[in-house]
Amino acid sequence: MVKGTYYFTKDFLWGTATAAAQVEGTNNLNTWSAWEQEEGRILNQDRAGLACDWWGGRWREDFDRAQAGAQNAHRLSIEWSRIQPAPDRWNEDALDRYREMLIGLVDRKMTPMVTLHHFSEPLWVAEMGGWENEAIVDLFEVFVKKSVAALMPYCHLWVTINEPNVFAFNAYVDGVFPPGKKDVKAALNVLRNMVLAHARAYHAIHALQVEARVGTAINYRGFKPASGLPTDYWMAKLHHHLFNDLFPKALQTGVFKVLTKKEKLSQVSGTQDFLGLNYYTNDYVRFTLLEPDQFFSRRFFQKNSILSESGFIAHDPQGMIDCVKWGHQFGVPMMVTENGVDDSEDILRPRYILEHLHALWQVINDNYPVEGYFHWTLVDNFEWERGWSQRFGLWGLDLETQARIRRASVDLYAEICRLNGISSEITARYAPEALKTLFP
């Protein structure tokens, strides 16, 4: 075995990522609080409940844990429904709480990154048609101006919209997110409105804060043809176009292009200072007439793949390389804003972290401009329609007591952050099965 260390670049950001609706708890004002009440919407009819009790103040102890683990950054989101619970009302107390969280990060010498929309919006917005109604572009801009003006003394990294591609497809094609529709035309309209909302937010933020860096976080999923058949190739290409390319290419070019249909959108091109990459896994795609609601295709993992606990993720580090190389076409610096695996027993996670970070190091070493890595996530949280069935946290969570449970990955990630790299010694200690790959 070769001994050595793969060092990352100076000033690399090491953190974890969280989302307000998944960690705060006790919110009855947003779309997900209503969605939970509908029968069959959440696996096992789970409820977020207190979640990780961040609204009750437990963010302090979790930030302490992140700081003790040598993390120098944290990505969190703010909840529109708390800040603007009604069209004509602002909740200054909510802004004060978010301000306190950001001060808490700064005091711990951690760089905050704030996401302005992460899968949830106020019920009053949903009642107006949500993202299907172009009026949301104006509403989102007003919310962004109010929030950024209050929080900008403590933050300069902003993600306008998290995973617009996932939101549009889960809420309007698969129907597993609110409002639970299965309408491709509506999904594309939602993506278009999100492009416009992002651009409007981008300009609003820069008008308020000259030094701001504004981007989006796109969930990249590699789609590979299941065979050499042209039909499989075309289906994989279609998925890639609609899921991966559509949104960021619109921001780059100012053209919203769906297949051969093009629409020029004003003040959209060039509205991205960095690109957030959320990467978890890849899919293989096979053409089939039996799945018309899935664009006549079936997606699956390769045979003999190493799967996560729930079978939701296939361990595929090569996809991290593909993801960064894909992101490079947009001509802006990149950050990995999410990457992780559901694993309550913490068996696969150490290997997953090390092999994905090694893949990331490889592309950085080839001069691809990646500035940071945010692991998903800090502590087990409420995983949307999958409820509490998946545990992505470095720290486990006891739902009954709110106790945090230390997993080995806590110490693994801390050693990586302190070293600013991955070494053969760390690999041997936490995931010896990865030595052959990382240090042959």
How many CA atoms lie within 13 Å of 249's alpha carbon, on the beta-carbon side?
A: 15
Smallest Cα–Cα separation from 324: which of 374, 364, 381? 364
- pLDDT of 6 reads 98
Question: CA torsion, points 175, 178, 183, 184, in degrees to nearest 10?
Answer: -90
Strand partners, 86: 89
pLDDT in tens, 390-417: 999 999 999 999 999 999 999 999 999 9
pLDDT in tens, 162-214: 999 999 999 999 999 999 999 999 999 999 999 999 999 999 999 999 999 99
Mean pLDDT value across residues 264-276: 98
In whole angstroms, what is the distance from residue 28 CA to residue 338 CA?
27
In whole angstroms, what is the distance from residue 49 CA to residue 2 CA?
49
Q: How confident is the model at residue 291 (pLDDT cuts 50, 70, 90)?
A: confident
Mean pLDDT value across residues 303-332: 98
The amino acid occupying position 401 is T
Strand partners, 396: 405
- pLDDT of 1 reads 76
Q: Is the peptide bond before 377 cis (omega within 30 degrees of 0)?
A: yes
- Exposure string for 60-79, b = 16+ CB within 10 A, e = fewer: eebbebbbebebbbbbbbbb
Q: The pTM is what?
A: 0.98
pLDDT in tens, 30-76: 999 999 999 999 999 999 999 999 999 999 999 999 999 999 999 99
Between the two ends of the chain, the Cα-to-Cα distance in Å is 6
Q: Measured between alpha carbons, how far is residue 14 from residues 43, 68, 79, 149, 297 in Å?
A: 32, 13, 24, 26, 37
